Structure 1
Amino acid sequence: MRDFTGRAEHLAALDALIPPDPGQDDERPQSVVITAVDGAGGMGKTALALHWAHRIQRRFPDGTLHVNLRGYGPGEPATAAEALGGFLRALGVAARAVPADVEMQAGLLRSMLADKRVLMVLDNAYSVEQVRPLLPGTAGCMVVITSRDSLTGLVVTDAAYRLTLDLLTPPEALDLITGILGAERAAAERDAVNELVRLCTRLPLALRVAASRAAVHSHLTVAEVVSELADDRTRLDVLSEFADERAAVRAVFDWSYRRLPPEQAQLFRRLGLHPGPDLSLPAAAALAGLSPADARPLLAALADAHLIEPVAGGRYRFHDLLRTYAADQALHHDTGDDRDQALDAVLTWYIHTAHAADRKLYPAQTRPWDVVAEPARPYPIGDFDHALAWLSTERDNLIAALHYAAEHRLDRRTVSLTIACAFTATTVSWQTWIDIVTVGLMAACRVGGHIQEAQLLAHRGSAATYLHRWEQAAVDLDRVEAMARDLGDDELRVWVLNDRGLLLLKQRRFENALRYLDEALSLSRGIDTGRWEVVIEGNLSAAYVGLGRYREALDHGQRGLSLRRKAGDRAGESGAITDVARAQ
């Protein structure tokens, strides 16, 4: 291919596998070398194999055999008999002399390749069964197979070397576009070219289609092509405009999707609905309405077909264009009720599991949870460490689920997911936490969740305090105080008194802070799990440190630490130890 670029590491790996020339001293086993090049549709497997074969064909003086096995594409896959017949005729066997029996054809091919150095390229294979009859039987030959399937059976039984193609690196993607547009034009619109790389997710086929669109239509700037690709809903259409199906991204994805059995196809569509960046086996099972045991082999099959990508920790993710394609298939093949039920099931699963993790992580915490519905298959949270690991891993998914629920006006789900995201206040910027809480606040106002609204306002006021946005914090806390009076809610009153004290602490107005904190401490005793008492003890310790009254600071810090330990509150214990250390 004229503008082939990148893949230096993969080309080097193929070079290293070339069998030694006859008589060359080499310790490698003298057997047929089989390399399975796998990857998702549009990843450039065929381009790599053909580019490499052309480059090194002189190392195979007895010739090169190539066949497109049509595993993924229009029409039916080639049979082994078709491929064997083509190879035998290419080697000089008259058509009438080709045996009718596949096993006899395979035997004749192996005989004719004995003691020869032939490179065999089996392109676009569908399965191990399609490939195995075509393999030569003696050393000196090399077989390169490309497939969207992982062809694991060849690795296990035929010692095949597996080489997986992933997305191009950013420099490789830029080189590919530059090769199509020309260096001058690419340099003139460098920002647009960079955005084109991002929107095409560095998928080689998508990059070729998008760059060629600008190259073929000289009146189009790269920026205009980028504008066409900006909308997620129509991006695949823009990348599928060419009449040749092999150059249409949607058609290439279709060929993989249509090969899936019904259960795998349905799970693929469900996964396209997931709002987050990746997902675990239990989350995928909840989304599909399956048990984890039933979902596991289906996910493995989709990964083998390179329609999803396995990542660390037993999780899975999509390449972005495949995610868009999967969601599009769900839109066209599933009913609205089917899609809504799947999404409700996974949102319920996230909320319920986050609630369970929150209880393990913060046993003294009181959150304004609504009634937490139980999913069909609850996920057990074992202990503090498990809770911390789960919430840390799922943080981005919880935030994504929150924004999905808000965009679709699922207000009760939005409120619950905002509360589920409370853990993130310790792991994201205060501004991000304010943004999250504001989304939940709007939903709480619409559903009339006054307690949730008040507590989320308090969260926002506290975050504004840490950002030294005194006026914003005071406005939110004034509203909370008024709502506490209207609702007759003593716990909410304690909350706002503490947060007013915190606001004054941050302003270094320590005497004024003490007045609010003393009142909050007196009111807090006996009205909840003890959560507020320990929080206020810590703030009182800080206030007394600010005043230089260190013995009183130490007393309050030690009381807070004792209460944290009594409650088994490991998450809060470190803060209490800090209070004591500061006073000391």
Structure 2
Amino acid sequence: MENGEDRVRNEVSGSEAGNVFQAGTMHVALGAVGGGPAPTALASLPAPPVDLVGRGEVSEALLALLAPSAGDGGPVLVSAVAGLAGVGKTALALHAAHEAVRRGWFPGGVLYVPLRGYRPGAAVSGEQAVGALLRALGVRDHDVPPTAEEQTGLYRSTMARRAAEAGAVLVLADDASAAEQVAPLVPADSCHRLLVTSRDSLHSPGFPARLVPLGVLGAVEAGQLVATALRRARPEDGRAEAEPEALAAIAEHCGYLPLALQIAAALLVDDPGLPLADLAEELADTGGRLDALRHGDGGGMSLAVAGAFELSYRRLGAETARLLRLTTVNPGPDVSTEAVAILAGLGKPAARRHLAALARANLLAEQPVGSGRWRTHDLVRLYAARLLEQDGEEDHEAAWSRLWDHYVETARAAALHLPGFINGERRHSRFPDQTTALTWLDAERANLTTGIGLPETDARSILRVGFGLGTYLLHHRHHHKDALLVAARTLEAAATTHDSHSAAAALTSYASVLRKMEMLEAAIEADQKSVEVFRMLKDPSSESQALLHLGISLAEAQRFEEAVEAYTQALTIHRACGDRRNEILTMLGLAIVQAKMGRHDHAMTTHTEALALSEDPRMEAIALIGISRALQDAGRFDEAITALLRAHALHVELGDQYGEAVVLVTLATALDRVGRYEEAVRACTEALSLHRAMGNRHEEVIALGTLGAVLHTMGRKEEAIATFTQAVAVYEEFDHPDADSAREGLAKLWQTE
């Protein structure tokens, strides 16, 4: 039975796209023992990859570094192609090297040294590599000096002589694992070039390489790689063209990693009758994906993605390896340095050092650099998660508990800063203001929603974070699908804990999401159940708030008489409880319904009564907005504008930039109605600036739409189209239900004369 090192050695050869399989010997000629000149090996490059898909841009960048004009006569330009195992570093380097030779840049020859830096027990040392290069340059065995320093000196002298006699030489050192392996290979003459490939980002004070990072392929290029391989093996193979969706799924499940894609293609070539859909279905199973991405029987030509990763993993320090395993506990696609520190029970500086070590090994990356957020390739994540499952010494449940507690408590602290999240707790000092709270929630949204969706997440933590997170998702970022998931899980959690009060509150939140998604009848049903539960619990304050929400749902469903009844019941309870704030909000909702029913005098009266009750400047501003709408409905635009200007001044005094921006958009609409277009444009532009500064993407769309309409009315068609195009882009970003209608409207605008 083969041991671990034998298995890894068998499963991995080059582990790069367009792999170069070695037979355990260097690709250089050994020096002659007998008389006569020693042979040279100055054209020892392996064959270039048959197809290099999707690497045009990085290939040109690498060629620019190899060009004779690069470097300006300074030190020898050393280029190091770095990337994840299997990403195609060797293929890219060979392609660039052959192209450079074709262009005549290296008349002195090309030397190729496979360093096998990640193979157990087979890595070539810097001294061995120098000795091999000397022999390739024609130095006889008995002329090779005994010490490493003398050999390096002779190598550089020989390369200098080669430059004078024949011209520049390219040295390609493939699969280095440390700067020490390649530092002795740097020639002295600046006309030469050293090209290195490595899974690590090789850079040290003694080896100042120009790093050329290589990432995975794009989705289209990944599919092309598989399709090209199938056609090359059998020109009549039409599976890729016949099953484009399955091809795209295979590419996605392979994480667009060239090695994985090559293995998938080899599996399909081996079985020409296998539908692509069947392989895609097999790879869709994350539990068995790494086992499926294996080709061969374990012999010398066997390839496996997991084996390629294992070689990199074995070189990690114990604490760094532990950190990689633990990052797979994080529920979302990326994780912050702070969260990793909590997850691993480390200080933040120590966590950052280990994360940087993993980034140097290209097992994860900080994206973008300097953001403090880390992401790993999907297949590496699966590999590390498997190690964590097999690792008996690691209590990942405790790690998960630490991490999830951090997410829950921080999310709750952030939610306390959001308007619309009513809670008795005071704002948390963790966040100085709403903007920083929203920034944190934006960064952690995927982690929070994925974590809440996990079946093992405890119900009480869901109840603790669900309402605040739902407010953020629904009212501040308008991620309706995520909000629906959170609302549904909050309902389940309330049922699990037999918490009737939380269940009724969760029903109200659930109804709000359904209303936003225009599922109005379902929303009304949920609101009605919420009212019934609060009534049964004899909680009049909560019952009246549920009635207020029911009135909103009924109004949006245009069931106006029922909405008036719900609002009236809510008003009665609000007044009995002395809840002035919700009394005013309910009156404003009632006034809107009255206006929609054509009862404009009643609407104006209700709005005016609400304004008279408003002792809070914020509520007064809301009432003024309602009055302005009623005035506009009555054609009294100048009075409406006056009311809006007063509301705007109140928000400015309060320092409420969100309310200020909302009023400005409403004001722009009123100004547009009376032909004060330039003022309308200024109001919209100011609102846009405020919403963008706060990151209010949904409100940004509303402001853009209003601005676009004003510009169109003014005959400034090109500006209107550009503005509407921005609005459509934001809609698409959030997969908003109005995205299709917005695109249709933009298309019609394009078609108008």
**TM-score of the two chains, using structure 2 as the length reference:** 0.69
Letter matched to residue 95 of structure 1: D
Task: Confirm or deny: 8 A CA contact 1:538 1:576 kept in the other structure.
Answer: no
For residue 93 of structure 1, the aligned residue among 126, 139, 142 is: 139
**Matching residue of 1:373:** none
Going from structure 1 to structure 2, the CA distance change for 1:105 and 1:581 (only over 3 Å counts) comes to closer
Task: Confirm or deny: 8 A CA contact 1:38 1:149 kept in the other structure.
Answer: yes
Letter matched to residue 173 of structure 1: A
Question: How far apart are residue 236 of structure 1 and its match?
Answer: 0.5
State the secondary structure of the residue aligned to 1:124.
Answer: strand
State the secondary structure of the residue aligned to 1:201.
Answer: coil
State the secondary structure of the residue aligned to 1:59.
Answer: coil
**Matching residue of 2:92:** 48
Q: Please show how residues 278-317 of structure 1 align to structure 2 within 5 Å.
A: 278-312=334-368, 313-317=371-375
Going from structure 1 to structure 2, the CA distance change for 1:519 and 1:291 (only over 3 Å counts) comes to farther
Going from structure 1 to structure 2, the CA distance change for 1:568 and 1:93 (only over 3 Å counts) comes to same
Letter matched to residue 107 of structure 1: G
**Matching residue of 2:181:** 130
Moved more, 449-458 or 566-575: 566-575
Going from structure 1 to structure 2, the CA distance change for 1:88 and 1:103 (only over 3 Å counts) comes to same
Task: Confirm or deny: 8 A CA contact 1:520 1:536 kept in the other structure.
Answer: yes
**Matching residue of 1:150:** 201
Question: How far apart are residue 400 of structure 1 and its match?
Answer: 1.0
Could you report, residue by residue, the CA deviation over 1:56-105 in whole angstroms, capped at 9, with x for unpaired residues? Answer: 23431222111122222332532111111111111122223322322111
Question: How far apart are residue 420 of structure 1 and its match?
Answer: 4.2
Task: Confirm or deny: 8 A CA contact 2:152 2:184 kept in the other structure.
Answer: yes
Task: Give the Cα separation in 1 of the matches to 2:207 and 2:429.
Answer: 40
Question: How far apart are residue 469 of structure 1 and its match?
Answer: 3.5
**Matching residue of 1:248:** 304
Moved more, 346-355 or 574-583: 574-583
Question: How far apart are residue 517 of structure 1 and its match?
Answer: 2.7
* Structure with more contact order per residue of length (Cα contacts < 8 Å, sep ≥ 6): 1
Going from structure 1 to structure 2, the CA distance change for 1:164 and 1:65 (only over 3 Å counts) comes to same
Question: How far apart are residue 543 of structure 1 and its match?
Answer: 3.2
Task: Give the Cα separation in 2 of the matches to 1:27 and 1:261.
Answer: 36
**Matching residue of 2:270:** 216
Task: Give the Cα separation in 2 of the matches to 1:163 and 1:496.
Answer: 59
Task: Confirm or deny: 8 A CA contact 2:113 2:172 kept in the other structure.
Answer: yes
**Matching residue of 2:642:** none
**Matching residue of 2:740:** none
Letter matched to residue 122 of structure 1: A
Larger radius of gyration: 2
Task: Confirm or deny: 8 A CA contact 1:228 1:235 kept in the other structure.
Answer: yes
Going from structure 1 to structure 2, the CA distance change for 1:389 and 1:502 (only over 3 Å counts) comes to same
Going from structure 1 to structure 2, the CA distance change for 1:531 and 1:222 (only over 3 Å counts) comes to farther
How many percent of aligned residue pairs carry the same amino acid? 33
Question: How far apart are residue 525 of structure 1 and its match?
Answer: 6.5
**Matching residue of 1:114:** 160
Question: How far apart are residue 41 of structure 1 and its match?
Answer: 0.8
Q: Does 1:520 align with 2:574?
A: no
Question: How far apart are residue 483 of structure 1 and its match?
Answer: 1.5
Task: Confirm or deny: 8 A CA contact 2:453 2:485 kept in the other structure.
Answer: no
Task: Confirm or deny: 8 A CA contact 2:294 2:305 kept in the other structure.
Answer: yes
State the secondary structure of the residue aligned to 2:112.
Answer: strand
Could you report, residue by residue, the CA deviation over 1:211-260 in whole angstroms, capped at 9, with x for unpaired residues? Answer: 11110223423222222211001101111243257721001100111111
For residue 553 of structure 1, the aligned residue among 582, 597, 607 is: 607
**Matching residue of 1:353:** 410
Q: Does 1:230 align with 2:284?
A: yes
**Matching residue of 1:374:** none
For residue 395 of structure 2, the aligned residue among 338, 345, 357 is: 338
State the secondary structure of the residue aligned to 1:282.
Answer: helix
Q: Does 1:13 align with 2:24?
A: no
Going from structure 1 to structure 2, the CA distance change for 1:151 and 1:204 (only over 3 Å counts) comes to same
Q: Please show how residues 360-399 of structure 1 align to structure 2 within 5 Å.
A: 360-362=417-419, 365-366=421-422, 380-399=430-449
State the secondary structure of the residue aligned to 2:79.
Answer: strand
Moved more, 277-286 or 266-275: 277-286
Question: How far apart are residue 143 of structure 1 and its match?
Answer: 0.6
Task: Give the Cα separation in 1 of the matches to 2:384 and 2:585.
Answer: 47
Task: Give the Cα separation in 2 of the matches to 1:573 and 1:358.
Answer: 21
Q: Please show how residues 498-513 of structure 1 align to structure 2 within 5 Å.
A: 498-510=548-560, 512-513=562-563
Moved more, 141-150 or 65-74: 65-74
Task: Give the Cα separation in 1 of the matches to 2:424 and 2:229.
Answer: 57
Task: Give the Cα separation in 2 of the matches to 1:517 and 1:574.
Answer: 28
Task: Confirm or deny: 8 A CA contact 1:36 1:161 kept in the other structure.
Answer: yes
State the secondary structure of the residue aligned to 1:366.
Answer: coil
Could you report, residue by residue, the CA deviation over 1:158-198 in whole angstroms, capped at 9, with x for unpaired residues? Answer: 55322111111223212211221016422233222121111
Task: Confirm or deny: 8 A CA contact 1:501 1:514 kept in the other structure.
Answer: yes
Moved more, 158-167 or 382-391: 158-167
Task: Confirm or deny: 8 A CA contact 2:183 2:206 kept in the other structure.
Answer: no
Task: Give the Cα separation in 1 of the matches to 2:264 and 2:71.
Answer: 47
- For structure 2, list consecutive stretches of 5 or more residues without a partner in the other structure: 1-48, 623-650, 672-753
Q: Does 1:318 align with 2:369?
A: no
